[in-house]
Structure 1
Amino acid sequence: MNIIKNRLYFLFLLGGMFAATTSCKNDDTPTPVEEVLAVKTIVPASGPVGTKVVITGTKFDATPANNTVLFNTTPATVTAATTTSLEVTVPAGATSGLVSVTVGGKTVKSASNFDLAARAVVEKQGNITASETWTKDKIYLLKGFVYVTTGATLTIEPGTVIKGGGIALDPAGLGKGGTLIINAGAKIMAVGTAAEPIVFTSNAAPGARKYGDWGGLVIIGKAPHNQLGSKGPEGGISGQLGTDNIADDNSGKLQYVRVEFPGIALTAGNEINGITFYAVGSGTTVDHVQVSYSGDDSYEWFGGTVNAKNLVAFRGFDDDWDTDWGFVGKVQYALSLRDPEYADQSGSNGFESDNFAGTGEPATAPNNGFPLTAPVFANVSNFVFPGTPNTNPGSGSGLYQSAMHLRRNTDISIYNSVFSGYPEGLRLDGANTLAHATAGTLDLKGIVLANTTISVRGDRATTGVSDAQALAYFSAATRKNTILTDASTLLLNADNFKLTAPKFLPQATSPLLKDAVWEGKGADAFFTKELFRGAFGTTDWTTGWTNFDPQNTPYN
């Protein structure tokens, strides 16, 4: 009986083992491993700025704008996207290094570097007599004075880098720094983008660049001016201004363009500026332009009718906005941020505005003195430094002088602008200039002066405008101007004006965000009737295309 029981138990045990073995068999499909954000390949793995690159990986966003791609630390625009591939263009300013992709707050990096290849260098000298295009796959080196002659158009692609050779590279041996000169009747079509600005810069290596490394950009047009037709440009540039008087003359386009380390002062009153406009007409388009580290004025207009918006003057040496010889154009949204350690021996100003050339020259010499210099500027922010007025020449050759030095029969008008950190706010210089102000053809309204040692002054004993007369004009209630001893009440936040990483928006409760005045010449249709004073409201229009550290930017 026990034998039978044992056999039954044994059979039961085998059955249980068989059932257990059967139940362990896995007929289910394995659960897939969840995909994570990853970069797999970068093709090609090297190339110059402007190269199309395809990044493969996983968990990308199919909407291009939802993917952030950095070449080392420089952002690139994503032009096409799927969940497994991104198409981008190597951006200007990129350096060799890892490529990172950020999606939904998560960031991954490539396993190996993208190597930025040096672009071929094309040397340019002498005359350009036929139309040509400069492309972003090359670097263009200016040697001496380079003229685009009448009838020719120079087209420059977005992302192109042009370097100005120093005086030692002048092929004529005359010690002229590389300078691009657009003659009257010629055109420059330099149309960059926010993602790919066109850059004119020094030929020196990063860390070795300095003020006035090369000449600059000079554009000559056929618009009216108040000089003799035989008058030539400054700085040894050949040619004459002529008497064409074509108000809407078209010299081309400058859009999303940076000009870095230009400006050579050859002798007193004989200079090449960062960008110089001679009799340039209103048919010319100028917007989103930055001039940095100019060894002379950042911008100077000699006659002409050209208009502009969104201009930046950064760490210039002499004046920011210099207007002469009957310039009558309009400018809106202009920013100047200055290094308090660098100023010119002539006394650096924000605005310097003249009608005729110098002491002793009568206002009625050429063209009976007409047209008068009568530009209109609006929404300007000029900051030497948000704190104490600068009275120390530091590493420069001189001191700062005035936020606005208006003299020699000028008829300039400035609206809704803010100036801080100058030893003087307004210097109203000359009986004829005061007469224009009193008559209302020179108009200053909606202006804020802050942190100045002398807010408003005349020229005292020179030509008879007293401080009291100048102050009475500026302070008239109808002008709605403001004088502050402490710029902190503007709620700008001094940390926002760090020279290497500035941020320009006023705080949300800043008094600058209201009380703009759009009267008189400010009512012109060219101007967007903003509520704010100064260059910024709630949008920072410098984002993306400007560079506040060009000293350390590699351009290869």
Structure 2
Amino acid sequence: MNILKNRMYFLLLMMGLFVGLASCDNDDEPTPPAEVLSVKSLTPSNGPVGTKVVITGTKFDPTPANNTVLFNTTPAVVTAATATTLEVTVPAGATTGLVSVTVAGTTAKSTGNFDIAARAVVEKMGTIAASETWTKNNIYLLKGFVTVASGATLTIEAGTIIKGGAPALDPAGSAKGGTLIIGAGAKIMAVGTVTEPIVFTSNAAVGARKYGDWGGVVIIGKAPHNRLVSQGFEGGISGQLGGDAIAADNSGTLQYVRIEFPGIALSQGSEINGLTLYSVGSGTIMDHIQVSYGGDDSFEWFGGTVNSKYLVAFRGFDDDFDTDWGFIGKVQYALSLRDPLFADQSGSNGFESDNFNGTGEPATGPNNGLPLTAPVFANVSNFVFSGTPSSAIASGSGSYQSAMHLRRNTDITILNSLFVGYPEGLRLDGANTLAHATAGTLDLKGIVLANVTTPLRGDRAATGVTDAQATAYFNAATRKNVVTDIPTLMLNAANFNLAAPAFLPLAASPLLKDAVWEGKGADAFFTKELFRGAFGTTDWTTGWTNFDPQNTPYN
């Protein structure tokens, strides 16, 4: 009997162990935490009373009346609801502040303010197929790529604000930052004034804006270039360059325009610049344009013949002035003021000039490389380090390299210009580039290099350019180029002040004389100034520029 009892006890024990092990199956998933009420985003994040706003979050009540929404302390009516979205209208009496949602006694608040604006927000997306006008009584929000189609003209009134939406607002779901693209055969008429510039800027709130918040402004024309007609565009923009080769092509007018926090990186090596110009023709008018906090190049010309005056590159990330693909236009009066802490992984330059843009190509490339990249720049001032120049990586992803990196068969001319505070002054790169310099088709005259660690160098390759060759070219007496230091220049004490710069040199500065206008500088486009650098006795940045866009309310 005892044996039977023992066997029964053993069987019961084994059954208990089996049940216990089964209940501890390693394949069981842990119970997910309960979802809680939250407010994740507000779209748009600013606007006047009456603006329709979509609040996204979690644990909302699908019955509209069961959700209580306050704009700061003012209640709003919920007109539509799901578990993750609420649609409301900004109520009368609302003031700038957080938006709160209360459901069943629990309250969640937005992470940022909703800004009550004086202007309505008009969303723009997709293709603009017919001519239209954007007016200063509205704020325009670019969502994804916004393209003005051939035959259409986009007119923008002076004083109008256009905001670039973040990638999350792309209606196509492709995570492309808001970008304005003026297609070949289309026009933009953006004519601001000194007191009412047109502003393209970030959609982020004051204090939260950053490099590459949105795409930028892209203009595509029909002027000559040196690529295949099937050449595509950077940054994921659809279409091809084409082969119209209309030198005087007219893409419209940009005057007194600011472009702030552009230059989104869609992938490595595929970015959109602050202002990107593809084959833009000389019939286009461009002057008084400032690009600030660009996430890639501030200005880049891919072919074309367009001429410009009064350009400002402020605190850009990569190059200030990049010329490629046979650009042959002219530019006078250009300024760059850099933040010493931010540079790009590619090595940031004042000028980067190529006959083509890419690797693995012959020196000439398609179309025998013609026309050669041969722009003429005059009266440029470019400032980086007021102290010892550094090539170390600071807060950005890379370091500073050269004031002028000239390579790949370029034929650029730079006259009467000032470069201060670069690790390198001139990098003359490539035997073919040196050949152009020696022949005089690449021309540097009236150049002042100051506070530069290595003023002159070649590419140092066995078949390229030696430092001695670059030095002999630059220092030829007929070129009237100078290597000096900052004290000798007698700059304004606030010249490097990033928040409130002042650029006019002192009255006794040597920069106010000795300009050289020989060769290509004799062109009638250029005003034959006596000074070198961008400034004589007049500060042409006054009134229309902004050196503190991070803290400017755009409502």
TM over 0.5: yes
Give the superposition deviation at 1:324: 0.1
SS, match of residue 234 in structure 2: coil
Q: Aligned residue for 1:510? A: 509
8 Å Cα contact 1:347/1:400 also seen in 2: yes
Give the superposition deviation at 1:387: 2.4
Q: Aligned residue for 1:459? A: 459
CA–CA distance in structure 1, aligned partners of residues 463 and 424 of structure 2? 18
Amino acid of the residue matched to residue 506 of structure 2?
Q
Q: Aligned residue for 2:10? A: none
Q: Aligned residue for 2:442? A: 442
Encode CA deviations 1:27-57: one digit per residue, 9 max, x unaligned. xxxxxxxxxxxxxxxxxxxx99xxxxxxxxx
CA–CA distance in structure 2, aligned partners of residues 435 and 294 of structure 1? 34
Q: Aligned residue for 1:365? A: 365
CA–CA distance in structure 2, aligned partners of residues 278 and 535 of structure 1? 26
Quote the RMSD (CA, aligned, Å). Answer: 1.6
8 Å Cα contact 2:492/2:503 also seen in 1: no
Give the superposition deviation at 1:464: 2.0
CA–CA distance in structure 2, aligned partners of residues 362 and 462 of structure 1? 18
8 Å Cα contact 1:429/1:463 also seen in 2: no
Give the superposition deviation at 1:371: 0.2
Give the superposition deviation at 1:463: 4.0
Give the superposition deviation at 1:268: 3.4
Amino acid of the residue matched to residue 362 of structure 1?
P
Give the superposition deviation at 1:391: 2.6
CA–CA distance in structure 2, aligned partners of residues 268 and 245 of structure 1? 30
SS, match of residue 141 in structure 1: strand
Give the superposition deviation at 1:368: 1.5
Structure 1: gaps of 5 or more residues: 1-46, 49-95, 97-114
Give the superposition deviation at 1:461: 1.8
Q: Aligned residue for 1:532? A: 531
CA–CA distance in structure 1, aligned partners of residues 521 and 360 of structure 2? 33
Amino acid of the residue matched to residue 445 of structure 2?
K
Q: Aligned residue for 2:25? A: none
8 Å Cα contact 1:460/1:467 also seen in 2: yes
Q: Aligned residue for 1:397? A: 397
Q: Aligned residue for 1:407? A: 407
Q: Aligned residue for 1:146? A: 146
Give the superposition deviation at 1:446: 0.1
8 Å Cα contact 2:338/2:383 also seen in 1: yes
CA–CA distance in structure 2, aligned partners of residues 495 and 537 of structure 1? 16
Q: Aligned residue for 1:242? A: 242
CA–CA distance in structure 2, aligned partners of residues 200 and 163 of structure 1? 6
Q: Aligned residue for 2:271? A: 271
8 Å Cα contact 1:351/1:403 also seen in 2: yes
Confirm or deny that 1:195 pairs with 2:195. Answer: yes
Following superposition of structure 1 onto structure 2, how do residues 97-136 of structure 1 map, counting pairs within 5 Å? 117-136=117-136
CA–CA distance in structure 2, aligned partners of residues 462 and 275 of structure 1? 37
Following superposition of structure 1 onto structure 2, how do residues 222-301 of structure 1 map, counting pairs within 5 Å? 222-301=222-301
Q: Aligned residue for 2:375? A: 375
Confirm or deny that 1:555 pairs with 2:528. Answer: no
Q: Aligned residue for 2:334? A: 334
8 Å Cα contact 1:386/1:494 also seen in 2: no
* Structure exhibiting the larger radius of gyration computed from Cα positions: 1
8 Å Cα contact 2:294/2:317 also seen in 1: yes
8 Å Cα contact 2:437/2:473 also seen in 1: yes
Following superposition of structure 1 onto structure 2, how do residues 338-349 of structure 1 map, counting pairs within 5 Å? 338-349=338-349
SS, match of residue 399 in structure 1: coil
SS, match of residue 422 in structure 1: coil
Encode CA deviations 1:452-498: one digit per residue, 9 max, x unaligned. 110000000264200000000000000000001x2111000343320
Amino acid of the residue matched to residue 155 of structure 2?
T
Give the superposition deviation at 1:117: 4.8
CA–CA distance in structure 2, aligned partners of residues 274 and 496 of structure 1? 23
Give the superposition deviation at 1:365: 2.8
CA–CA distance in structure 1, aligned partners of residues 493 and 432 of structure 2? 38
Amino acid of the residue matched to residue 539 of structure 2?
D
CA–CA distance in structure 1, aligned partners of residues 497 and 218 of structure 2? 30
Amino acid of the residue matched to residue 154 of structure 1?
L
8 Å Cα contact 1:387/1:487 also seen in 2: no
Encode CA deviations 1:276-314: one digit per residue, 9 max, x unaligned. 000000000000000000000000000000000000000
Encode CA deviations 1:409-446: one digit per residue, 9 max, x unaligned. 00000000000000000000000000000000000000
Amino acid of the residue matched to residue 458 of structure 2?
G
Q: Aligned residue for 1:489? A: 488
Residues 340 and 120 of structure 1: is their aligned pair in 2 closer, same or farther, counting only changes over 3 Å?
A: same
SS, match of residue 235 in structure 1: helix
Give the superposition deviation at 1:232: 1.1
Amino acid of the residue matched to residue 535 of structure 2?
F
Give the superposition deviation at 1:372: 0.1
Q: Number of matched residues? A: 445
